[in-house]
Amino acid sequence: MQFPPFYDPRKVGELYSPRFHEAMSWGRKLSRITDPHPSPEEQVPGRMLLGVDTLIGFMDRAFGELPVPGMTGDLQRAIELILWDPFLYDEIDFLFDCHPLLHIASAAWWKQNGALVRPNTPITLGLVRDGEIVPLSSRA
Protein backbone atom coordinates (compact mmCIF):
# COMPACT_ATOMS: atom_id res chain seq x y z
CA MET A 1 0.00 0.00 0.00
CA GLN A 2 1.27 3.46 -0.86
CA PHE A 3 0.82 5.91 1.98
CA PRO A 4 0.07 9.62 1.62
CA PRO A 5 3.11 11.89 1.84
CA PHE A 6 2.28 13.17 5.35
CA TYR A 7 2.34 9.71 6.99
CA ASP A 8 5.55 8.04 8.10
CA PRO A 9 4.91 4.66 9.78
CA ARG A 10 8.33 4.85 11.47
CA LYS A 11 7.17 7.87 13.48
CA VAL A 12 4.15 6.19 15.11
CA GLY A 13 4.76 6.31 18.84
CA GLU A 14 7.06 9.33 18.68
CA LEU A 15 6.49 13.01 19.33
CA TYR A 16 6.90 15.06 16.18
CA SER A 17 5.31 18.07 14.55
CA PRO A 18 2.04 17.09 12.87
CA ARG A 19 1.68 17.90 9.21
CA PHE A 20 -1.93 19.08 9.34
CA HIS A 21 -1.80 21.18 6.18
CA GLU A 22 -0.58 18.25 4.09
CA ALA A 23 -3.17 15.92 5.63
CA MET A 24 -6.01 18.40 5.04
CA SER A 25 -4.89 18.96 1.44
CA TRP A 26 -4.78 15.19 0.85
CA GLY A 27 -8.26 14.80 2.36
CA ARG A 28 -9.73 17.55 0.19
CA LYS A 29 -8.17 16.05 -2.94
CA LEU A 30 -9.47 12.59 -2.02
CA SER A 31 -13.01 13.85 -1.41
CA ARG A 32 -13.08 15.35 -4.92
CA ILE A 33 -12.01 12.02 -6.43
CA THR A 34 -14.32 9.78 -4.38
CA ASP A 35 -17.89 10.58 -3.44
CA PRO A 36 -18.06 9.83 0.29
CA HIS A 37 -21.86 10.10 0.33
CA PRO A 38 -23.63 6.98 -1.00
CA SER A 39 -27.08 7.18 -2.52
CA PRO A 40 -29.99 6.32 -0.16
CA GLU A 41 -30.28 2.76 -1.55
CA GLU A 42 -26.54 2.17 -0.97
CA GLN A 43 -26.54 3.38 2.63
CA VAL A 44 -25.83 0.85 5.35
CA PRO A 45 -25.99 1.25 9.12
CA GLY A 46 -23.21 3.55 10.28
CA ARG A 47 -19.82 2.26 11.32
CA MET A 48 -17.66 3.86 13.97
CA LEU A 49 -14.00 3.29 14.74
CA LEU A 50 -13.23 3.99 18.39
CA GLY A 51 -9.70 4.14 19.77
CA VAL A 52 -9.43 4.29 23.56
CA ASP A 53 -6.37 5.50 25.49
CA THR A 54 -4.05 5.77 22.51
CA LEU A 55 -1.64 7.87 24.54
CA ILE A 56 2.03 8.46 23.84
CA GLY A 57 2.75 7.24 27.39
CA PHE A 58 1.41 3.78 26.50
CA MET A 59 3.59 3.38 23.40
CA ASP A 60 6.18 0.66 23.60
CA ARG A 61 8.75 2.96 22.02
CA ALA A 62 10.89 5.85 23.22
CA PHE A 63 8.42 7.93 25.24
CA GLY A 64 6.38 5.19 26.89
CA GLU A 65 6.16 5.79 30.64
CA LEU A 66 3.67 2.94 31.04
CA PRO A 67 4.47 0.88 27.94
CA VAL A 68 1.81 -1.52 26.73
CA PRO A 69 3.41 -4.27 24.63
CA GLY A 70 2.21 -4.01 21.04
CA MET A 71 0.57 -0.59 21.46
CA THR A 72 2.71 1.11 18.82
CA GLY A 73 1.91 -1.59 16.27
CA ASP A 74 -1.80 -1.49 17.14
CA LEU A 75 -1.96 2.26 16.58
CA GLN A 76 0.05 1.97 13.36
CA ARG A 77 -2.43 -0.62 12.04
CA ALA A 78 -5.39 1.60 13.01
CA ILE A 79 -3.85 4.57 11.17
CA GLU A 80 -3.16 2.45 8.09
CA LEU A 81 -6.71 1.04 8.13
CA ILE A 82 -8.05 4.60 8.05
CA LEU A 83 -5.65 5.54 5.24
CA TRP A 84 -6.49 2.37 3.30
CA ASP A 85 -10.15 3.39 3.07
CA PRO A 86 -10.94 6.79 4.63
CA PHE A 87 -14.66 6.28 3.97
CA LEU A 88 -14.96 2.86 5.62
CA TYR A 89 -16.22 4.48 8.83
CA ASP A 90 -18.86 7.15 9.25
CA GLU A 91 -17.22 8.34 12.44
CA ILE A 92 -13.70 7.98 13.80
CA ASP A 93 -13.01 8.90 17.41
CA PHE A 94 -9.86 8.50 19.46
CA LEU A 95 -10.17 9.15 23.18
CA PHE A 96 -7.27 10.48 25.20
CA ASP A 97 -7.34 11.04 28.89
CA CYS A 98 -4.67 13.30 30.24
CA HIS A 99 -3.22 13.91 33.64
CA PRO A 100 -1.08 16.71 34.95
CA LEU A 101 2.55 15.71 35.09
CA LEU A 102 2.78 16.45 38.79
CA HIS A 103 0.12 14.56 40.73
CA ILE A 104 0.06 12.20 43.70
CA ALA A 105 0.19 9.05 41.55
CA SER A 106 3.26 10.29 39.66
CA ALA A 107 6.77 9.37 40.72
CA ALA A 108 7.65 13.06 40.26
CA TRP A 109 5.44 13.86 43.30
CA TRP A 110 7.68 11.85 45.63
CA LYS A 111 11.27 11.59 46.78
CA GLN A 112 13.23 8.88 48.52
CA ASN A 113 16.55 9.46 50.25
CA GLY A 114 16.50 13.05 48.97
CA ALA A 115 16.17 12.08 45.29
CA LEU A 116 13.18 11.74 42.98
CA VAL A 117 11.52 8.35 43.08
CA ARG A 118 12.18 6.30 39.94
CA PRO A 119 9.22 5.87 37.54
CA ASN A 120 6.96 2.88 38.23
CA THR A 121 8.15 2.59 41.85
CA PRO A 122 5.35 1.17 44.00
CA ILE A 123 4.47 3.84 46.55
CA THR A 124 2.66 2.18 49.41
CA LEU A 125 0.97 3.75 52.39
CA GLY A 126 3.43 1.90 54.61
CA LEU A 127 6.45 3.50 52.89
CA VAL A 128 4.86 6.94 53.25
CA ARG A 129 3.89 6.38 56.89
CA ASP A 130 7.43 5.16 57.69
CA GLY A 131 8.88 8.27 56.02
CA GLU A 132 10.86 6.23 53.47
CA ILE A 133 9.04 7.99 50.63
CA VAL A 134 7.95 11.59 51.19
CA PRO A 135 6.20 14.23 49.07
CA LEU A 136 8.60 16.31 46.99
CA SER A 137 7.39 19.45 48.74
CA SER A 138 8.43 18.16 52.18
CA ARG A 139 11.73 19.13 53.81
CA ALA A 140 12.72 15.53 54.58
Condensed to tens digits (0 to 9), the pLDDT of residues 36-87 reads 566 666 666 678 888 888 877 787 765 666 788 888 899 899 999 988 888 8
Q: What is the pLDDT of residue 44?
A: 62
| Reported confidence tier of residue 116, pLDDT bands at 50, 70, 90 | confident
The residue with greater pLDDT, 71 or 16, is 71
Identify whether the C-beta of residue 101 lies closer than 8 Å to the C-beta of residue 90.
no
Q: What is the mean pLDDT of the chain?
A: 80
Kindly list the distances between the CA atom of residue 4 and the CA atoms of 26, 40, 61, 124, in Å, as whole numbers in the listed order.
Answer: 7, 30, 23, 48
Residue in 135, 136, 133 with CA at minimum distance from that of residue 121: 133
Cβ(54)–Cβ(93) below 8 Å: no
**Average pLDDT for residues 17-23, to the nearest whole number?**
77
Q: Are 89 and 48 within 8 A, CB to CB?
A: yes
pTM, entire model? 0.57
State the pLDDT at residue 63.
60
pLDDT band at 123 (very low <50, low <70, confident <90, very high): confident
- Say if residues 23 and 86 touch (Cβ distance below 8 Å): no
